[in-house]
Homo-oligomer: A and B are copies of this chain.
Amino acid sequence: MQNNSYILTVSCRDVRGIVAAVAGFISSLDGFIIEASQFGDPVTEQFFQRIYFSAGAATPAYEEIKKRFADEVGIPFAMNFHLHDMSKKAQTLLMVSKFDHCLNDLLHRHQVGSLPMDIPAVVSNHEDCRALVEWHNIPFYYFPLISADKKSEQEAKTWDIVQKHKIELVVLARYMQVLSADLCTKLAGKAINIHHSFLPSFKGARPYHQAHARGVKLIGATAHYVTDDLDEGPIIEQEVISVDHTHSPEDFVAVGRDIESRVLARAVKYHIEHRVLLNGTRTVVFK
């Protein structure tokens, strides 16, 4: 990403003239369009667009762009829009339990610079991943679930972290505890989970064992936004890998680690690059 550049995402009812209005606005700012994608859904008649542009000599500051866009384009077209200043990295909270393959993968990608985000904290309900996290010089918070009735206390601690660090994205990197309806609501559209099956097959617990029992020839992983309805959130990314009769359920678990890591990493990348827009219970992903 270039400095002094912005990503604008918009959605609105699909009518004539939107593209001309948006592009005309950027042109009027002396902006230069680096990348642009758009989609008009013929069924819902909704229009979606993502524009990545760099500022020119005459481009005003962030707040001024935003205000002007609202006045000149956003409000007239009744748009839902966001303007992202690309000099600011996404503040991201990772949550993990015991299995550390997704965590290790995300931390490594972050370290080599392929995921443009800040990770001010990692939260876990177990101590297992502390050493890995701290080796990356990231604060590790251990918030165990002491008893079932203490769940709201545990979640309150997590929520404090979210607020303190102005977290824009929560990544459940194999966090094996269901979030409460309340927390799901608060994090709507900004929490990504990795489920270790090709949803909607094998929802719930032990999906690899369910898959083995059914005798499938491919196993999968699904990254989706977290909603109150377990494993039913909008899907961002999926991938499968071949298995055969020689694989035990434990082999599925081992083979699955790779695709879980990859699928989650891609979903996180799409999100923090503002490539994912919600279209009802489905997603538009501008790759």
Residues of A at the B interface (CB closer than 8 Å) are: 16-20, 23-24, 26-27, 30-43, 56, 100-101, 104, 108, 112, 114, 135, 198-202, 214-218, 220, 234-240, 244-246, 248, 254, 257-258, 262, 279, 281-285, 287
Identify A214's interface contact among B33, B200, B215, B240, CB under 8 A. B200
Q: A43-B248, A100-B112, A215-B235 are in contact. List 5 more A-B contacts (CB 8 A).
A: A16-B30, A17-B27, A23-B23, A104-B104, A214-B235
* A217 to B220 CA separation, bound complex (whole angstroms): 11
**Nearest 5 CB-CB pairs, A to B?**
A215-B282, A20-B23, A19-B23, A20-B27, A245-B284
* A58 to B211 CA separation, bound complex (whole angstroms): 39
Given contacts A214-B200, A238-B218, A248-B42, whether A258 and B254 have CB atoms under 8 Å apart is no
Q: How far is the CB of A11 from chain B (nearest CB, A)?
A: 12
Residues of B within 8 A of A240 (CB): 198, 218, 240
* A19 to B237 CA separation, bound complex (whole angstroms): 30
Residues of B within 8 A of A244 (CB): 285, 287
Identify A40's interface contact among B33, B218, B235, B258, CB under 8 A. B33
Residues of B within 8 A of A202 (CB): 200
Residues of B within 8 A of A39 (CB): 35, 245-246
Interface core residue of A33, A100, A279 (most chain B CB under 10 Å): A33
* A95 to B262 CA separation, bound complex (whole angstroms): 25
Q: Do residues B281 and A215 form an inter-chain contact, with CB atoms below 8 A?
A: yes
Q: Do residues B20 and A32 form an inter-chain contact, with CB atoms below 8 A?
A: no
* A34 to B112 CA separation, bound complex (whole angstroms): 39
Identify A217's interface contact among B27, B33, B200, B238, CB under 8 A. B238
* A20 to B31 CA separation, bound complex (whole angstroms): 11
Q: How far is the CB of A76 from chain B (nearest CB, A)?
A: 14
Given contacts A240-B240, A245-B285, whether A20 and B26 have CB atoms under 8 Å apart is yes
Residues of B within 8 A of A248 (CB): 42-43
* A215 to B104 CA separation, bound complex (whole angstroms): 29
